């Protein structure tokens, strides 16, 4: 099978050519951000670097990092580079505390996003004529709408089915003849389970390829999804701060890494402790600089995702660097049913409930294909009551507030004081029992 | 007229009840009555003891979450319909009875029940007006 490209010239450009494009774009970006965004200018001034100092791609390391807290400090729109009347869309993802991280797009950004997403779809072997079943959530989450516009751009048919209502999804797959599935890998396994219950044979469906992302998944899970849904499973990478889905995409020829669309998203790998850039091929934290985005570019954004960059030429013919499947995080963020959860958000919720002390522990487990989150909260004297209903109401209140703030359903279990394991005086906030 | 009750938060796991009774025994505290209310996840142990302040202190020192509540100890005729007659009074007065449990020892010919009301003063008034005997903390500890 011959490889198909969406933008063949740029996707197969020799590295020298690609680097010269990256440099020009980087210089324009830095000059623009320096003049339009005070938080960036302040950080650059503090680091003693000016836009004219960027004369080669190596000078990138002179620029300060951007972290999630920078976005929180400038909530909601303080890091946007364009006036709001040029922003045609916003999305949001989990922040580290109560406030979400907000990102914005100009009309040109939306087009760019659709283009990189079309590239990603083509990379996975999707094409005009495909029936693309988009089960990513539509809404503030970038997954649904991000993928949606890419499918339309590519010229395939998009079914904007969004998440949930699994039985209906299977009926649609059967009746509409879905050929490409977009979802989280755990939802794909849910679908497989539901098909089994409904006695629907996946082999009788038209599914050919599944594009799975928004949460970490292993090679074992790939094998399981492929077997159970009778399709080829490929990995997609993205995060809202950089763009959304379509930052990097696995091709059909290799399972060793996803091609980073590095003419738009410049990757680096750093040591998460020292911030030092690591030599090619070493494992570390992935950092991105967006080269072409207008409304919300990021400079050296620390993703906290652990990966490595692979510069070997790929069999598919793409010269774009590949990033290995994300193997972990350099912070404590959890991904539960596709939702990003920071323990600090749970703490924030608890602090907001009168009398509740922030002594808690999150236990994440996987039952079947479903992740469950249990929040254990120590009962202090100030919330204790001799009446059962008072304590049950307290647990329900915490559950509702967490659902409200984090968008994830959890169970709250009240526990005795000092029962939460403490190692070296520091409480262990998360126990992740999932074997992903 | 009020009796001080100790309430202790308990997780539903092995050995917790025995830990509490052990702590009380070590400190020479006598349990006069108790009741355990539980859900799937946790329980609340309610205790009437002879040395309330000591019990509260030693349990807190033992790492338990402890609360103190006022309840009332009511004499109930130890015969058919005895409790029903008291509960009828409570119902007629539209008093909100949160929970109740039995006291181990008898007071003369009568049984003793521990009642927990939301409106404790009003409840004492209503019961006394209806000729029901309410015992003090000292009285029930002496039984």
The C-alpha of A396 sits at a distance from chain B's nearest C-alpha, in angstroms, of 13
Give the pLDDT mean for A238-246.
96
| H or E element in which residue A412 lies | strand A411-415
pLDDT at A422 over 80: no
Contact A364, A433 (CB under 8 A): yes
pLDDT at A270 over 70: yes
Give the count of beta carbons closer than 10 Å to the beta carbon of residue A201: 9
Q: What is the Cα–Cα distance from A420 to A361, expressed in whole angstroms? A: 7
Give the count of beta carbons closer than 10 Å to the beta carbon of residue B88: 12
DSSP conformation letters of A307-354: E-EE-SPPTTS--S-EE----EESS--EEETTEEE-HHHHHHHHHTST
Q: Give the CA dihedral A410, A416, A420, A425, nearest 10 degrees.
A: 140
pLDDT at A2 over 80: no
Helix axes A343-351, A388-406, angle to 10 degrees: 130
By three-state DSSP, how is residue B87 classified? Answer: helix
Can you give the pLDDT at residue B137? 86
The C-alpha of B109 sits at a distance from chain A's nearest C-alpha, in angstroms, of 30
Q: What is the DSSP letter of A137?
A: P
Q: Which residues contact B64 (CB under 8 A, 6 or more apart)?
A: A416, A417, B8, B9, B20
Span A82-124, pLDDT tens digits: 999 999 999 998 877 778 899 999 999 999 999 999 999 999 9
- B12 and B52 share one domain: yes
CB atoms A380 and B98 under 8 Å: no
Split into its structural domains, chain B has a count of 2
By three-state DSSP, how is residue A192 classified? Answer: helix
pLDDT at A435 over 80: no
- B29 and B76 share one domain: no
- B74 and B57 share one domain: no
Span B97-143, pLDDT tens digits: 999 999 888 888 899 999 999 999 999 999 999 999 999 988 888 87
Span B3-13, pLDDT tens digits: 999 999 999 88
Q: What is the DSSP letter of A169?
A: H
- B101 and B48 share one domain: no
| Residue range(s) defining the domain that contains residue B109 | 70-142
Q: What is the Cα–Cα distance from A118 to A97, expressed in whole angstroms? A: 34
Asked if the domains at A8-331 and A335-432 fall in one CATH topology, the answer is: no
**Among candidate residues A123, A162, A126, A168, the one with its CA nearest the CA of residue A144:** A162
Q: What is the Cα–Cα distance from A296 to A102, expressed in whole angstroms? A: 9
- B21 and B85 share one domain: no
CATH architecture for the domain at A335-432: 2-Layer Sandwich (3.30)
Name the domain boundary from B69, B85, B100: B69
- B53 and B97 share one domain: no
CB contact, 8 Å: A380 with chain B?
yes
Q: What is the DSSP letter of B4?
A: E
Give the model's confidence band at A426: pLDDT under 50 very low, under 70 low, under 90 confident, else very high: low
* Interface residue of B8, B16, B23, B42 to substitute, partner A, most A CBs within 10 Å: B42
Give the pLDDT mean for A389-412.
94
By three-state DSSP, how is residue A96 classified? Answer: coil
**Among candidate residues B130, B129, B123, the one with its CA nearest the CA of residue B3:** B123
Q: What are the strands, taking DSSP E only, across A254-308?
A: 258-260, 265-270, 284-290, 301-307
* Interface residue of B3, B5, B6, B9 to substitute, partner A, most A CBs within 10 Å: B9
What does the mean pLDDT of chain A come to? 93
Can you give the pLDDT at residue A260? 98
- B64 and B109 share one domain: no
- B63 and B97 share one domain: no
Can you give the pLDDT at residue A436? 64
Give the model's confidence band at A17: pLDDT under 50 very low, under 70 low, under 90 confident, else very high: very high
User: Which of the listed CATH numbers 3.40.50.12780, 3.20.20.70, 3.40.50.720, 3.40.50.300 matches domain A8-331?
Assistant: 3.40.50.12780
- B56 and B120 share one domain: no
The residues pairing with A352 across neighbouring beta strands, listed in sequence order, are none
Name the domain boundary from B45, B69, B93: B69
Can you give the pLDDT at residue A275? 96
Can you give the pLDDT at residue A248? 98
The C-alpha of B4 sits at a distance from chain A's nearest C-alpha, in angstroms, of 12
Can you give the pLDDT at residue A237? 97
Q: What is the Cα–Cα distance from A79 to A72, expressed in whole angstroms? A: 10
The tokens of B66 are what?
Answer: 């402890």
CB atoms B44 and A379 under 8 Å: no
Residue among A386, A392, A417 whose CB faces B69 most closely: A386
Give the pLDDT mean for A371-399.
93
Distances (CA, A) of A228 to A204, A216, A370, B106: 12, 19, 16, 69
Give the pLDDT mean for A69-94.
95
Can you give the pLDDT at residue A94? 81
Q: For position B93, which CATH number holds?
A: 3.30.70.260
Q: Where are the domains of chain A?
A: 8-331, 335-432
Residue among A388, A395, A418 whose CB faces B37 most closely: A388
The tokens of B69 are what?
Answer: 């509540």
Q: For position B8, which CATH number holds?
A: 3.30.2130.10
Q: β-strand B42-49 against B31-38: which pairing, if any?
A: antiparallel
What are phi and psi for residue A100, nearest 5 degrees?
Answer: -75, 170
Q: Which residues of A64-97 are buried (b: 16+ CB within 10 A; e: fewer)?
A: bbbbbebbbebebeebbbbeeebbebbbbbbbbb
Residue among A385, A391, A418 whose CB faces B63 most closely: A418
Q: Which residues contact A317 (CB under 8 A, 6 or more apart)?
A: A3, A5, A11, A12
- B63 and B76 share one domain: no
* Interface residue of A355, A359, A384, A386 to substitute, partner B, most B CBs within 10 Å: A386
Cα A225 to the center of its chain, rounded Å: 20
| H or E element in which residue A238 lies | strand A232-239
Q: Which residues contact B130 (CB under 8 A, 6 or more apart)?
A: B89
Span B29-85, pLDDT tens digits: 999 999 999 998 899 999 999 999 999 999 999 999 999 999 999 999 999 999 999
pLDDT at A1 over 50: no
CB atoms B42 and A387 under 8 Å: no
Name the domain boundary from B69, B95, B119: B69
The complex's ipTM? 0.87
Helix axes B82-92, B120-129, angle to 10 degrees: 120
By the 10 Å C-beta count (0-12 exposed, 13-18 middle, 19+ buried), A382 is classed as exposed
Can you give the pLDDT at residue A417? 86
Give the count of beta carbons closer than 10 Å to the beta carbon of residue B59: 23
Can you give the pLDDT at residue A95? 78
- B75 and B138 share one domain: yes
Span A185-235, pLDDT tens digits: 988 988 998 999 999 999 999 999 999 998 888 888 899 999 999 999 999
């Amino acid at each position: 099978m011959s490889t198909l490209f969406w933008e063949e010239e740029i996707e197969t450009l020799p590295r020298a050519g690609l680097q010269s494009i990256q440099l020009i774009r980087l210089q324009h970006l830095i000059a623009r951000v320096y003049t339009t965004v005070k938080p960036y200018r302040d950080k650059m001034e503090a680091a003693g670097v000016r836009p004219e100092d960027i004369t080669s791609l190596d000078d990138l390391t002179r620029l300060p990092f951007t972290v999630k807290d920078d976005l929180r400090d400038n909530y909601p729109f303080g890091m946007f580079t364009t006036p709001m009347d040029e922003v045609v869309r916003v999305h949001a993802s989990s922040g580290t505390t109560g406030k979400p991280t907000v990102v914005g797009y100009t009309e040109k950004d939306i087009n760019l996003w659709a283009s990189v997403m079309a590239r990603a779809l083509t990379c996975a072997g999707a094409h005009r004529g495909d029936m693309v079943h988009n089960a990513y959530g539509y809404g503030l989450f970038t997954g649904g709408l991000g993928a949606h516009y890419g499918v339309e751009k590519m010229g395939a048919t998009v079914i904007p089915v969004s998440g949930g209502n699994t039985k209906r999804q299977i009926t649609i797959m059967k009746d509409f003849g879905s050929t490409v599935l977009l979802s989280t890998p755990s939802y794909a396994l849910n679908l497989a389970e539901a098909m089994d219950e409904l006695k629907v044979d996946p082999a009788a469906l038209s599914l050919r390829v599944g594009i799975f992302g928004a949460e970490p998944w292993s090679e074992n899970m790939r094998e399981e999804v492929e077997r159970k849904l009778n399709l080829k499973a490929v990995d997609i990478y993205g995060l809202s701060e950089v763009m959304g889905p379509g930052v990097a995409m696995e091709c059909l020829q290799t399972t060793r890494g996803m091609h980073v669309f590095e003419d738009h998203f410049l990757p680096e790998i750093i040591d998460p402790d020292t911030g030092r850039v690591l030599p090619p091929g070493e494992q570390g934290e992935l950092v991105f600089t967006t080269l072409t985005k207008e409304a919300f570019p990021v400079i050296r954004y620390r993703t906290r995702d652990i990966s490595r960059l692979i510069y070997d030429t790929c069999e598919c013919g793409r010269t774009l660097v590949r990033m290995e499947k994300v193997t972990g995080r350099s912070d404590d963020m959890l991904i539960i049913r596709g939702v990003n959860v920071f323990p600090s958000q749970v703490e924030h919720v608890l602090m907001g409930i009168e009398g509740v002390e922030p002594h808690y522990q999150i236990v994440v487990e996987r039952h079947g294909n479903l992740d469950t989150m249990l929040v254990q909260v120590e009962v202090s004297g100030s919330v204790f009551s001799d009446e059962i209903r008072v304590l049950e109401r307290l647990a329900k209140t915490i559950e509702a507030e967490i659902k409200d703030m984090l968008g994830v359903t959890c169970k709250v279990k009240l526990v005795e004081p000092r029962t939460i394991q403490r190692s070296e005086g520091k409480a262990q906030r998360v126990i992740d029992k999932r074997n992903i | 007229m009020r009796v001080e009750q100790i309430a202790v938060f308990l997780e539903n796991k092995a050995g917790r009840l025995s830990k509490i009774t052990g702590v009380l025994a070590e400190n020479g505290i006598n349990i006069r009555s108790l009741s355990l209310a539980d859900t799937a996840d946790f329980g609340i142990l309610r205790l009437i003891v002879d040395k309330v302040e000591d019990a509260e202190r030693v349990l807190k020192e033992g790492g338990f979450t402890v609360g103190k509540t006022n309840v009332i100890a009511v004499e109930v005729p130890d015969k058919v319909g005895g409790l029903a007659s008291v509960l009828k009074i409570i119902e007629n007065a539209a008093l909100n009875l949160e929970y109740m449990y039995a006291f181990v020892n008898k007071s003369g010919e009568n049984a003793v029940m521990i009642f927990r009301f939301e409106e404790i003063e009003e409840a004492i008034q209503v019961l006394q007006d209806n000729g029901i005997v309410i015992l003090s903390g000292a009285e029930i500890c002496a039984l």
